[in-house]
Each structure stands twice: as structure tokens, then as C-alpha cells.
Amino acid sequence: MEPKLSKLPVRCPSCGSGLSVQSLACRECDTVVNGRYDLPVLLMLEKEELEFVLRFVLNSGSLKEMSKEMGLSYPTIRNYLDDLISKLQSLENQKP
């Protein structure tokens, strides 16, 4: 049985700075790759935000379908998407 994987931390618990990835490991053969890699912007989103992005893609970008699926009004979904777009733009601008 494989261990449950946690959400990847993106902020340092000590100082709050952004984290980078330094090691990747293969589950099959235990090969390890070491280096310093920036995290993709999407991984910096909260779990709820990532779930929204997944639902958005699976609904072919239809806010109308998202509204039905989530039981929320179209304007509520639109506002959530606008907020998410702003957050992604801000995160993108923070990248080195």
C-alpha cells in the first residue's frame, strides 16, 4: 500500500518565502533526481482552487455547466474565476 501523499508545501514554514523543489524520486525504481526547480504556478494554488481549475477544464471551460454542477449562480462562478485569474497573474509576476 502506497503512503498517502500530502499537498506539496509552497511556502517556508519558518519565514514564509516561496519554496523550490530540490529532489524528485521515481516510485518504481527509486531513481532520485536532485537539482533546484521552480514550482509551476498552478501548484501554488490552494486545494479548492485546484479543484475549481480541474472542474473548469473537465467542463470544457463552460461557466454555465460549472454553475449547474456546483449549484451556484453564474455570476458567483464568474467572480470566482476572475479572482483566480488575478491570483494566477500575481503568482506569475512573482516568479524569478
* pLDDT at residue 3 greater than cutoff 80: no
Spell out the domain ranges in the chain: 41-94
For 45-94, write each residue's pLDDT tens digit: 988 999 999 999 999 999 999 999 999 999 999 999 999 999 999 998 88
Q: Which residues contact 89 (CB under 8 A, 6 or more apart)?
A: none
What average pLDDT does range 8-32 have in this prediction? Answer: 88
pLDDT given at position 12: 87
Q: What is the largest CA-CA distance in the chain?
A: 48
pLDDT given at position 28: 95
List the beta bridge partners of residue 34: 23
Rg for the chain, CA atoms, rounded: 17
Backbone angles phi, psi at 84, to 5 degrees: -65, -40
pLDDT band at residue 17 using 50, 70 and 90 as cut-offs: confident
Nearest Cα neighbor of 44 from 71, 78, 17, 4 is 17
pLDDT given at position 84: 96
pLDDT given at position 8: 76
Q: Please give the span between the terminal C-alpha atoms of the chain, in angstroms, as a whole number.
A: 39
Architecture of domain 41-94: Orthogonal Bundle (1.10)
Helices (H), the chain: 47-58, 63-70, 74-94
**Model's pTM, two decimal places?**
0.71
